[in-house]
Structure 1
Amino acid sequence: MATAKFGRVITAMITPFLEDGSVDYEGAAALARHLVAHGSEGILVGGTTGEGATMTTEEKLKLYKTIVDAVGRNAPGKKVPVMGNIGTISTRDTILFGREAKKTGIDCALAIVPFYVKPNQEGMYQHFRAIAKHVDLPIVLYNVPGRTGVSIQPETIKRIVDECPNVVGIKDATGNWDQVTKEKTLLPDDFMIYSGDDAFTLPILAGGGVGVISVASHVIGDDLLAMVDAFEKGDLEKARALHLKMYPIMKGMFFVASPIPVKTAVNLIGQPGGHFRLPIVEPSEEEKNHVYQMLKDYGGLVK
């Protein structure tokens, strides 16, 4: 049975930006510490939720080092694994950035199926094989066809894993039960399947997954971890009750383009959510009020 080597609840952390558009590194460190104190057993930096595609290489590397120093292997207090997003649509650029990212002290790397270019299965195989061969880090694949337009198939993942022992897991955001089941059937027992969709976490756990790379954990991390704990202890009634309790927040974080709702929610609970970078924009008053009402309805998140 696979164990969650990088944490059972990993928060795909937002990146706070200051009003002038620069990265709020102090705010990011403070937010990471808050997340670790509230259910996050790992932190993913620079991903989609972190608006990584809008950041420069230098900004991302500094941010990764900042989070490693705040909560990772260099932290003075509680330490958790830090995962850095290295994925691009260019195999060469992903490898070059991955090598630099390793120097920041991250524990593993997330690599997305190349978006926009829509590679076929052979292209995906060659892409990830090259990354794994040339980046000396554990690699977690990221399959999110809703954003990339294509999906890596379980048979292709098996080809990669058979050749590349440092490809150790996948963030599965397909929402496809057949896909997850086949992954579990074809791949080694210790291969980690993480839910890439908060609302799909409990089913993925039931199918042999290890946890979630989460957005909602910015505000309900304690309950999310409690659900995973309850499932692992065989308390399915409690796990189901927590799933149903969290469901409005888990779905509500995507009622408009992410990370608008979650960043707004982080600001509303008094943590450093910060501003956005184009093409992501500030919420309208109506959207902000909707997020506030979600948090209020949940109970205990806002006054």
Structure 2
Amino acid sequence: MEFGRLFTAMITPFDNKGNVDWPTLEPLVEHLLATGSEGLVVAGTTGESPTLKTEEKLALFKRVKEIAANRAVVIAGTGTNDTAYSEELTQQAVKTGVDGFMAVTPYYNKPSQEGMYHHFKTIANAASSLPLMIYNIPGRCIVNLDADTLLRLTEIPNITSVKEASGDLDKIAYVIDKSPDDFYVYSGDDSSTLPIMSIGGSGVVSVAAHVIGNEIRMMIDNFAAGETLKAAAGHRRLLSQMKACFMAPNPAPVKGLLEQIGIGTRMTRAPIIPLNEVELKQLEEWFSLA
């Protein structure tokens, strides 16, 4: 199952007391859908999943799906570094009506390749045939899911895609070449979207799409339509803004930008801290929002 080309790894809005800001959820979802997102990843790491309680995650899955309905694919972030908990959360999340799941490589534990294979197979089995997207991000998780391990996992029918943030284009090309035609590779870094699409990738699971979604969607659509020079020009034009979204630990910058356009607050949960006024002013200048 191909989910689409532009997914947004959605923030979790918090109010000034640090609680989930439920009233902001609807305008946030509507904003993302209006600016090109075809799908939303809920309670992933951009959604500050390590700080969310199980009850909050399940409520977020359900509410976002209610808002998006059939207008976008909703993917629940259920991966953690605890296989049994990830399995249980996935089983519970099936009941919320989501369209699929994303699971990150287990962080901190440093499991072997066989351990990661078992981890993802267990989550896939818990997903009740709904599709599972694997998320490989060695920069945050230390472990790197090897290409051959990933290819073994593609043999599991409902493991249908991977979000790749390793930056290893040789490995990614190998996976695209050797995996089934109905297995899809997405960039896990905004700035790698076009390079990965150029070797056969499907699109991106984006952070920057919170604020430049239309522009990213245009770049993707231009490439898909064979307008490669236009896509390349779009990539170069957007690159500094994509990078600016990570001037501080994610998702503090995009939350600051969203606050400036009237969607929620810049509030994060510790240990991530909100942007200060100096940082926010710098970000506003980069995005011409000042």
Same fold (TM over 0.5): yes
In the alignment, what sits opposite 2:281? 289
For normalisation by structure 1, the TM-score amounts to 0.93
Moved more, 285-294 or 139-148: 285-294
Residue pairs, 1:97-176, within 5 angstroms:
97-136=89-128, 137-162=130-155, 164-176=156-168
Deviation, 1:256, is 1.4
Compute the TM-score of the two structures, normalised by the length of structure 2: 0.97
The yes-or-no answer on 1:29 pairing with 2:32 is no
C-alpha separation between the residues in 1 aligned to 2:265 and 2:101?
Answer: 24
- Given that 1:40 and 1:221 are in contact with CA atoms closer than 8 Å, whether structure 2 keeps it comes out as yes
Cα drift, residue 260 of structure 1: 1.0
Is it true that 1:86 corresponds to 2:78 in the alignment? yes
Match of 1:210 among 198, 202, 207: 202
How far does residue 270 in structure 1 lie from its aligned partner after superposition?
Answer: 2.0
Q: Does 1:17 align with 2:14?
A: yes
CA distance in 2 between counterparts of 1:69 and 1:40 reads 16
Q: Distance in 2 between matches of 1:239 and 1:218?
A: 20
Instruction: Tell me the amino acid that sits aligned with residue 181 of structure 2.
Output: D
Distance 2:3 2:173 in 1: 22
Q: Residue by residue, what CA displacement relative to the aligned partner does 1:57-90 show, whole Å, maximum 9, x if unpaired?
A: 00111111111011134xxxxx110011000111
For 2:247 and 2:31, the matched residues in 1 are separated by: 25
Question: Paired residues, what number?
Answer: 289
The equivalent position to 1:276 in structure 2, one of 262, 268, 277, is 268
2:56 to 52, 56, 59: 59
Following superposition, the deviation at residue 7 of structure 1 comes to: 2.0
Tell me which amino acid in the other structure corresponds to 1:166: N
Structure 1 segments of 4+ aligned residues over 3 angstroms from their partners: none
Q: Cα deviation per residue 1:26-82 (whole Å; 9 max; x = unaligned)? A: 202210111100111111110111111100000111111111011134xxxxx1100
Contact 1:155 1:186 in 2 (8 A): no
Report the Cα distance in structure 2 between the residues aligned to 1:292 and 1:274, rounded to whole angstroms.
13
Query: Is the deviation greater in 204-213 or in 127-136?
Result: 127-136
CA distance in 1, matches of 2:97, 2:222: 32
Alignment of 1:96 with 2:88, yes or no, is: yes
Distance 2:25 2:178 in 1: 38
Do 1:15 and 1:273's aligned partners in 2 also have CA atoms closer than 8 Å? no
Distance 1:80 1:33 in 2: 10
Q: Which runs of 5 or more residues in structure 1 are unaligned?
A: 74-78, 297-301
1-structure distance, mates of 2:175, 2:74: 25
Q: Secondary structure at the match of 1:97?
A: helix
| Residue in 2 that maps onto 1:177 | 169
Give unmatched runs, 5+ long, in structure 2.
none
Query: The residue matched to 1:96 in structure 2 has which SS?
Result: helix
Q: 1:273 to 1:107 in 2, by over 3 A?
A: farther
Could you list the per-position Cα deviations for residues 240-272 of structure 1 after superposition, in whole angstroms to 9, with x for gaps in the alignment? 111011101111111111111111111112222
Which residue of 64, 69, 75 maps to 2:66?
69
* In the alignment, structure 1 residue 229 sits paired with structure 2 residue 226: no
